[in-house]
Amino acid sequence: MASRKKVLLKVIILGDSGVGKTSLMNQFVNKKFSNQYKATIGADFLTKEVIVDDRIVTMQIWDTAGQERFQSLGMAFFRGADCCVLVFDVTAPNTFKSLESWRDEFLIQASPRDPDNFPFVILGNKVDLENRGVSAKRAQQWCQSKNDLPYFETSAKEAVNVELAFQTIARNALAQETEAELYNEFPDQIKLNANDNARNRDGDNCAC
């Protein structure tokens, strides 16, 4: 392990204003929750080291403002992303409906090499609240229809599924990162059909 280059995974969290992007990030990184996070202005990021398949990787998690008009400035921050996390509020159907446009916007702005296979992870946040407006089934159906995107129901407040979700985010980002490394300069390379061969070279314990 010691000889390996350190891996930095860049993760972008997107979603409507107030769905809990900052809270999720802070719950994951600092294991803290506060009702009083200010609305994010501009952009900020936190980093955390995690172990994925026995590999130590650093996650750099980017949090940006949720209001639509600020997204034109997002481009500078989206560049080089390894995974994109789309968050909605399970009590607010509008925030669920926005997922599609957040996804499109990200793909346009970040223009990843292989948009069809770029890893997205969907989080339905605030499951601790009672007034649900989006059923788990509806969310899952949507995720399935989008090339089977991983979906988690989370509560940043009560730390439900946050760790698990970010583990998946890290793993999928790592796969992306490795692929980018491999294929970036080799567009004419034969595509490996075996799912992410490179990712699994340290073991076969990845089942996602």
Partner 1 sequence: MSSSSAEDIPEQCKDLFTQDGVLLKSCIGRSINELNSIGMLCIVQNADSTKCVEWRPNDLITIDSDTQDQEWAVVNTIGRRQRTLSGNMTSDYATLRARIIKIPLSELKTFRVSRNNQQMQFSTKPGVWQMSFYFQHGNAEIFVAYLKNHVKTAKARNDKNTYIVVEPNRETQVLNKSFAELDIFTENPTDVVWSLVSNLRQRPYETTMEAFSKLTDIVYYGNEAMNGKRDVSEEVADLLTKSMSAMEDSTAVTRSDEYEVISVKPTLPPRPCIPRYALYYGNEAMNGKRDVSEEVADLLTKSMSAMEDSTAVTRSDEYEVISVKPTLPPRPCIPRGTPLSTEKWDGLQDTDGRVTEVEGVKQLIFRGGVAHSIRPSVWKYLLDYYPWTMTHSEIKNLQRRKTEEYFSMKLQWRSMTEGQESRFSEYRERKSLVEKDVNRTDRTHPFYAGENNPNLIVLQDILMTYVMYNFDLGYVQGMSDILAPLLLLLGNEVDSFWCFAGFMEKIAPNFDMDQAGMKQQLLHLQQLLTFASPELAQHLAQKDSGNMYFCFRWLLVWFKREFSHRDIMRLWEVLWTGLPCANFHLFICVAILDTEKDILIGKDYGFTEVLKHVNDLSMRLDVDKILSTAEGIYHQIVSAPHLTDQIRVILGLPTIGRSHTEDSHSDTEDKEASPKAECSRTNEASRSNATTNGNGTNQRVLFAPEADEYDRFIWPGEHNSNYIKTAKTLYIRIFVRWRHRLVSSPTEASTAKTLTYICPVATPTSFEPNGGFNIGSGTVLVYFGATGSVTLEYNGIQISVVTKTVWALLA
Interface residues toward partner 1, by CB under 8 A: 1-6, 8, 17-18, 35-39, 41-45, 58, 60, 65-67, 69-70, 72-73, 76-77, 92, 94, 181-182, 185-186, 189, 192, 194, 197-198, 201-202
Please check whether residue 9 is in contact with residue 173, taking contact to mean a CB–CB distance below 8 angstroms.
yes
Shortest Å, Cβ 144 to partner 1? 28
Shortest Å, Cβ 109 to partner 1? 13
3-state secondary structure the chain: CCCCCCEEEEEEEECCCCCCHHHHHHHHHHCCCCCCCCCCCCEEEEEEEEEECCEEEEEEEEEECCCHHHHHHCHHHHCCCCEEEEEEECCCHHHHHCHHHHHHHHHHHHCCCCHHHCCEEEEEECCCCCCCCCCHHHHHHHHHHCCCCCEEECECCCCECHHHHHHHHHHHHHHHHHHHHHHCCCCCCCCCCCCCCCHHHHCCCCCC
Shortest Å, Cβ 47 to partner 1? 9
Give 80 or 163: the residue with its C-beta nearer to partner 1: 80
Give 108 or 136: the residue with its C-beta nearer to partner 1: 108
Shortest Å, Cβ 73 to partner 1? 6
Give 42 or 115: the residue with its C-beta nearer to partner 1: 42
Give 18 or 150: the residue with its C-beta nearer to partner 1: 18
Give 46 or 159: the residue with its C-beta nearer to partner 1: 46
Shortest Å, Cβ 83 to partner 1? 17
